[in-house]
Amino acid sequence: MAHFTKATSVKDWLNQRLAIEKVEKVMASEYWIPKNINFLWAMGMILVVTFVLLLVSGIFLLMYYVPTVDEAFDSVNYTIMREVDFGWLWRHVHGVAASVVFLIIYIHMFTGIYYGSYKKGREMIWISGMLLFVAFSAEAFSGYMLPWGQMSYWAGMVITNLFSGGSLHANFLVEWIRGDYVPAQAFLGRFFMLHVLLIPVAIMGLIGLHFAALRIPHVNNQDGGEIDFDVESKKYLDGDKAGSKVMRFANDFMSKDMMVVGIFLIFFFYLVFYNYGFAMDAVNFDPADGLKTPTHIYPEWYFLWSYEILRPFNIDLGLVLFGFAQVIFVFLPFIDRSPNSIPANRRGTAFKVWFWLMLSNMIVLTAMGKLPPEGMFSAIGLVSAILFIVQWLALPIITSMEKKV
Amino acid sequence: MENNNRRGFMGKAFGAVAAVGAVGSLVAMKKTWDPLPSVKAAGFTTLDMSIYAEGVMVTEKWRGKPIFVLKKSERLMAQEKGNAAAEARNIKIGNDNFMVAIGLCTHLGCIPAFRKDEGNFLCACHGGMFDASGLVLKVPPPRGFDIPPFKIEGNKLVLGEVGPEWQAMKDNGVTL
Ligand code: HEM
Ligand code: FES
């Protein structure tokens, strides 16, 4: 048996049993962060904070929410919004956080692409990040079903219909997912379960994986230069703090992180109190009606770009391209053939153009997805969707021709 | 050595037990997600076809889905004359011709709106269009409206039951 001595303090008592000092070093004070990074590296911490906001507000909503087709709508729009003291606060925090979390996720993703942070041992960080994106998408979609308004119902109808696979006519699969011919009680019940238990648990597991994947390669830096963390941290510990290229995660770097988080939270609560409307679709304030489709059905803004890739084509081609758009980002570390892991702007014209074009094209796709599919907008959407696909197909070619810098 | 053989055997034995358990629980999980018997049993609706007025589109309900019922007017019948695909979709009750179809866009399931003046359907979701017989006028929808299984009983129509007329439509590829 391990040898225990009489504890000299509470800390020592815990240390003998849980090795808290060692854990603290591994996770915080001797987890090394390059000095050469900027505020874009605080996005991950903002995402953690936003997830906690979702979790806490969700727990309070859960106390009054009733997952039945007859009562769900009123339990949200009447009980939570009018009867429960501060119920509106939890709902607005939850709704705004669910929307803003995607804005931050996209910034986080494009930061990763810009600085090449998915290469050279950081592939698992990227892959676990994309799995988190998928899990958050499923979480947001399942949550959107819960108020059982018109948009809940019709988004549920349209999205589950995607699983019929177009000409495959896999209606049995659609009915199996719904547990009924149309979205009804069985559907609401299972999406409720997914939203409040299974997917949040999966998200927590994935966040653990994401962090574990970071531990060995460490975070990237603004120049993409390779840092020898053993040498630099030794320098730091030996007293040459100014000469070392790295610093401690806690409390040193974390203080900067929390500064950015503070600014974010001010912006966030400004939205919650004064500008929450964008996160609550007006159409969803009508109760679900299976016999009436709203005039325009569009998803929340963060799904618009991929929705716009589905829309302009016939159903089978649309589904194939949509599926392509959903999974292609995961493979980025393997499609990018260039050995350079430096900022996009320094990788030569081809990749520089690729990056900025991809970013702007996704913004265009997002805008077109919101507009009704008519005339001019249809045409722009079609061109953008084709451009998106072509860009991904071209990526292995332009990156393998890229010169080593 | 001997011990290692025994450990190997134990490992395989456990693997076998676990595999049986895993398959069993997957079956149970799959079945738990299936539609309930009560949901499946509530699948029949009877329509009295003598009450509809010509040229007026009425929406009924079957299995939670909207059902479009349109009694064709002289004008519509004249319009579609010679169009075999459209004529094949008519349901004859006495001397009247009806379009009866599941009112969900075959693209992704929105409910297209009937435009009385144009005599066609427009789907607001992605701009698909259907004519008065339910055939596609404009993509993305891949095919005309699906026709629900029906059985003609006098001037009544039972939805959810397969009659010879519907079976013929299905066999001829008129509906899915
Ligand atoms: C464990 C954590 C969570 C719990 C317990 C929870 C719980 C709930 C509950 C009870 C509702 C229904 C009440 C309402 O509509 O306001 C809801 C709605 C919603 N949730 Fe969550 N949630 C959690 C996490 C998340 C996350 C991580 C996201 C998204 C990224 C999310 C997105 C949504 C959305 C979009 C709605 C609809 C909001 C609305 O229409 O007002 N939730 N959630
Ligand atoms: S659902 Fe009707 S056009 Fe897409």
Q: How far is B111 from chain A (nearest CA, A)?
A: 5
Kindly state the average pLDDT of the residues A278-295.
Answer: 87
In this structure, how many other beta carbons lie within 10 angstroms of the beta carbon of residue A279? Answer: 20
As beta bridge partners, residue B91 has B98
Confidence check: pLDDT of B118 > 60: yes
Helix or strand run (H / E) with residue B68: strand B65-71
Tell me the CATH class for B40-171. mainly beta
Instruction: Name the one residue in this structure whose structure tokens are 């803004």.
Output: A301
Q: Please tell me the predicted confidence (pLDDT) of residue A1.
A: 61
Instruction: Name the one residue in this structure whose structure tokens are 């703090």.
Output: A241
As beta bridge partners, residue B62 has B65
Distance CA(A123)–CA(A186), nearest Å, equals 39
**At B1, is the pLDDT very low, low, confident or very high (cuts 50, 70, 90)?**
low
Q: What is the mean pLDDT of chain B?
A: 86
Q: Which residues of A touch B38 (CB under 8 A)?
A: none
Q: Which ligand is nearest to the CA of A297?
A: 2
Residues whose CB is less than 8 angstroms from the CB of residue A8 and which lie 6 or more positions away in sequence, other chains included: none
Q: Specify the length of chain A in residues.
A: 405
Distance CA(A45)–CA(B136), nearest Å, equals 51
Do you find a cis peptide bond into B140, omega within 30 degrees of 0? yes
Residues whose CB is less than 8 angstroms from the CB of residue A385 and which lie 6 or more positions away in sequence, other chains included: A308, A309, A311, A312, A313, A321, A365
Mode of pairing for the β-strands spanning B113-115 and B120-122? antiparallel
Distance CA(B131)–CA(A147), nearest Å, equals 35
**Residue A398 near residue A344, CB atoms below 8 Å:** no
Distance CA(A287)–CA(A149), nearest Å, equals 4
ipTM tops 0.95: no
Domain segments of chain A as ranges:
22-216+226-287, 298-405
Structure token digits, residue A227: 């840092």
Confidence check: pLDDT of A373 > 80: no
Share of chain A above pLDDT 90, in %: 75
Tell me the CATH class for A22-216+226-287. mainly alpha
User: Could you report the per-residue pLDDT of A335-345, keeping only the tens digit for each?
Assistant: 999 988 889 99
* Fold adopted by A298-405: Helix Hairpins (1.10.287)
Q: Which of B107, B108, B122, B176 is the best mutation test for A, with the most CBs of A within 10 A?
A: B108
Domain segments of chain B as ranges:
2-34, 40-171
**Residue B80 near residue B132, CB atoms below 8 Å:** yes
Judged by DSSP in three states, A286 sits in coil
**Angstrom distances, CA of residue B86 to CA of A48, A86, A114, A327, B97:** 58, 58, 55, 41, 11
User: Could you report the per-residue pLDDT of B64-110, keeping only the tens digit for each?
Assistant: 889 999 888 888 888 877 788 888 888 888 888 888 999 999 888 88
**Angstrom distances, CA of residue A188 to CA of A65, A66, A181:** 12, 10, 13
Q: In what order do the strands lie in the sheet containing B150-153?
A: B45-48, B156-159, B150-153
Q: What is the mean pLDDT of chain A?
A: 92
More confident: B173 or A183: A183
Tell me, what DSSP letter sits at residue A149?
B
Residues of chain B with a CB closer than 8 angstroms to some CB in chain A: 30, 33-36, 39, 43, 59, 61, 63-66, 104, 107-113, 124-127, 139-142, 176
Kindly state the average pLDDT of the residues A47-54.
Answer: 97
More confident: A38 or B41: A38
In this structure, how many other beta carbons lie within 10 angstroms of the beta carbon of residue A178? Answer: 25
Q: How far is A66 from chain B (nearest CA, A)?
A: 21
Shortest CA distance to B159 belongs to which of B137, B136, B143, B175?
B175
**Residue A80 near residue A90, CB atoms below 8 Å:** yes
Q: Is A198 on the interface with B (CB under 8 A)?
A: no
Q: Which residues of A touch B43 (CB under 8 A)?
A: 181
CA–centroid distance, residue A276 to ligand 1 (Å): 15
Confidence check: pLDDT of A108 > 90: yes
Q: Which residues of B touch A290 (CB under 8 A)?
A: 61, 64-66
User: Could you report the per-residue pLDDT of A220-258, keeping only the tens digit for each?
Assistant: 999 888 899 999 999 999 999 999 999 999 889 999 999
As beta bridge partners, residue A33 has A247
Helix or strand run (H / E) with residue A161: helix A150-161
Dihedral angle over CA of A181, B101, A293, B56, nearest 10: -150
Judged by DSSP in three states, A293 sits in coil
Amino acid at site A242: A
Distance CA(A211)–CA(B14), nearest Å, equals 33
CA–centroid distance, residue A311 to ligand 2 (Å): 9
Shortest CA distance to B45 belongs to which of B70, B63, B30, B21?
B63
